[in-house]
């Protein structure tokens, strides 16, 4: 009962926020205005809200509803394949507008999670946070062994609140798919499921710790990269303890120059490192904004905050490489082919229309040297075309586009004249060489042969079994027809109409036969003294009415 009451209260808060920000029509379309008794004036929203753009209203709506929805918007801002660019620009402005957690609550969580008094674990624990976000808060501390650490502590009860919000969102999505054609077309429940998985992953700090450890291992021999060490003995799902390293933020240009750093060198190193992560390792830091990348002595890059990472399988890396090459060559056919390979394509996609859209996109970059093209913008433009035709791009590939845009924004502050494409070209060449390397091709061929080995060895047995079925006349045949439901409904209508015609014809024949028979006999008999015609007429009419009623009730006349 408590859960239902909590949900009902939250339902009302969400529906009121929808209405207040100019989305009352969605509440009406879902039929929810009566469930929580929302007045008509509230559903219309304030007049001033309608002067704002759709993107602005969505951002305000998300900020009003707090941590879950802010985090949802931040994740959604990475999905250029699902959301229009004008809305994404507004979602990128979302900030964690949250208050600080009181120290006594932080202390309680740390002691419960680590199983000891905070004074026994830490020699010093700064009560004032370094940063406060929607899910957690970071404090500087010193271990009993003397190491300086940053302790990230999850907000109290945030997990319960997020689960409640996600349950309600999934209910909304399911209802929307039953009532709204566009929601069913875009498979809103699947999108919410994707976002749900991303948000829940951020609730487990051990995953963030493993992300940091994996990137650290990938660059353990690279002196130009520093990833803070994770203290696993002081890390749980709700508490993350990492090495505290102080660096200079990338947006502090004046301080960088004053300390003797060269912004151009930093920009080049950052581009090379991110492309190494994306194209070579297939595991990358997906949010390289100035607050998450700092500079240490000797131009060493310091990465922090590994809550958002991307993973590319060898196949996805190959698709990404093919797409970038096709973009560079402005080859429409190759671009379309790559989109088909990398995404889930609906059956009713209009191939010619999509080619025309890509041709239009190609014209945007025509006669512009590829070295001067914004790679992030080009990739995201392509994903927007895919979204228009309801092609679902894998989330991690879409995340690449967002990461590239963030990277471009970061390095442009350091060096406005830098070209990401020029610095990335050697990685593309390495991937092409790797793709067509004879040894790799041989390994792929061997792998396919190994996959088909069992099929070939079992082939005689399958042929023998098929032969026996054919001899017994039991050969199973399954025919798959596109839009079979529609065809079956048409068959139903045809058969019902034929039945109707047959009954009508039978009725006519019976009546005519009775009348002719009566005329031919011309004399009265016991049989003819019965009201045969009347009885036959009544029976036929009843059958006729029953058949008509059955057909019309089925809705398939």
Looking at the annotation, which residues are catalytic?
287
User: SS in 3 state form for 50-74?
Assistant: HHCCHHHHHHHHHHHHCHHHHHHHH
Q: Please name which of 292, 324, 286 lies closest in space to residue 430, comparing C-alpha atoms.
A: 324
Say how far apart CA 429 and CA 275 lie, in whole Å: 12
HSE-CB for 419 with a 13 A CA cutoff: 9
Say how far apart CA 249 and CA 256 lie, in whole Å: 8
**Which of helix, strand or coil describes residue 311?**
strand
Say how far apart CA 554 and CA 556 lie, in whole Å: 5
Say how far apart CA 137 and CA 110 lie, in whole Å: 12
**Which of helix, strand or coil describes residue 40?**
helix
- 160: burial class by Cβ within 10 Å (0-12, 13-18, 19+)? exposed
Strand partners, 143: 122
Say how far apart CA 504 and CA 508 lie, in whole Å: 6
Q: Please name which of 328, 305, 262 lies closest in space to residue 406, comparing C-alpha atoms.
A: 305
Kindly report the number of other CB atoms within 10 A of residue 555's CB atom: 9
- At residue 45, φ and ψ (nearest 5 deg) are 75, 165
Kindly report the number of other CB atoms within 10 A of residue 170's CB atom: 15
Say how far apart CA 449 and CA 442 lie, in whole Å: 10
H/E segment holding residue 98: none
HSE-CB for 20 with a 13 A CA cutoff: 13
Say how far apart CA 21 and CA 46 lie, in whole Å: 8
Q: Do the beta carbons of residue 244 and residue 260 sit within 8 Å? A: no
């Amino acid at each position: 009962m408590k859960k239902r009451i909590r949900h009902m209260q939250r339902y009302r808060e969400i529906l009121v926020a929808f209405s207040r920000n100019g989305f009352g029509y969605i509440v009406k379309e879902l039929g929810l205005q009566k469930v929580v008794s929302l007045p008509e004036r509230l559903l219309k929203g304030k007049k001033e809200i309608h002067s704002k753009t759709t993107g602005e209203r969505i951002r305000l709506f998300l900020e009003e509803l707090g941590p879950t929805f802010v985090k949802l918007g931040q994740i959604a801002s990475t999905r250029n394949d699902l959301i229009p660019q004008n809305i994404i620009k507004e979602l990128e402005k979302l900030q964690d507008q949250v208050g600080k957690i009181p120290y006594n609550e932080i202390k309680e969580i740390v002691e419960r999670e680590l199983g000891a008094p905070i004074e026994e674990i830490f020699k010093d624990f700064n009560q004032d946070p370094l940063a406060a976000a929607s899910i957690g808060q970071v404090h500087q501390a010193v271990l009993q062994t003397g190491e300086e650490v940053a302790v990230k502590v999850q907000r109290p009860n945030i997990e319960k609140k997020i689960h409640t919000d996600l349950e309600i969102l999934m209910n909304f999505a399911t209802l929307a798919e039953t009532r709204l054609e566009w929601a069913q077309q875009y498979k809103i429940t699947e999108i919410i499921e994707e976002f749900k998985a991303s948000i829940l992953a951020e609730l487990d700090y051990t995953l963030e710790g493993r992300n940091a450890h994996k990137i650290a291992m990938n660059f353990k021999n690279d002196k130009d990269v520093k990833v803070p060490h994770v203290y696993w003995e002081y890390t749980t799902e709700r508490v993350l303890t990492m090495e505290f390293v102080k660096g200079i933020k990338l947006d502090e240009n004046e301080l960088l120059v004053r300390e003797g750093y060269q912004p151009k060198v930093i920009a080049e190193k950052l581009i090379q490192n991110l492309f190494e992560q994306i194209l070579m390792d297939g595991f990358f830091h997906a949010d390289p904004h100035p607050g998450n990348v700092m500079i240490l002595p000797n131009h060493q890059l310091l990465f922090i905050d590994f809550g958002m990472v991307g993973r590319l399988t060898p196949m996805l890396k190959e698709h990404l490489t093919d797409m970038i090459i096709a973009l560079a060559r402005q080859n429409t056919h190759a671009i379309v082919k790559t989109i088909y390979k990398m995404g889930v394509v609906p059956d009713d996609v209009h191939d010619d229309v999509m080619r025309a859209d890509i041709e239009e996109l190609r014209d945007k970059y025509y006669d512009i040297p590829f070295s001067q093209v914004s790679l992030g913008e080009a990739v995201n433009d392509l994903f927007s075309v895919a979204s228009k035709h309801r092609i679902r791009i894998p989330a991690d590939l879409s995340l690449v586009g967002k990461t590239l845009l963030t990277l471009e924004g970061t390095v442009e502050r350091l060096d406005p004249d830098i070209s990401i494409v020029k610095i990335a070209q050697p990685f593309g060449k390495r991937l092409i060489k790797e793709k067509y390397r004879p040894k790799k091709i041989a390994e792929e061929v061997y792998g396919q042969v190994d996959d088909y080995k069992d099929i070939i060895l079992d082939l005689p047995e399958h042929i023998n079994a098929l032969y026996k079925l054919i001899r017994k006349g039991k050969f199973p045949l399954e025919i798959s027809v596109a839009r079979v439901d529609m065809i079956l409904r048409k068959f139903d209508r045809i058969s019902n109409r034929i039945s109707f015609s047959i009954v009508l014809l039978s009725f006519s024949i019976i009546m005519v036969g009775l009348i002719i028979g009566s005329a031919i006999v011309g004399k009265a008999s016991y049989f003819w003294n019965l009201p045969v015609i009347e009885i036959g007429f009544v029976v036929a009419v009843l059958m006729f009415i029953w058949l008509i009623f059955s057909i019309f009730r089925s809705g398939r006349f």
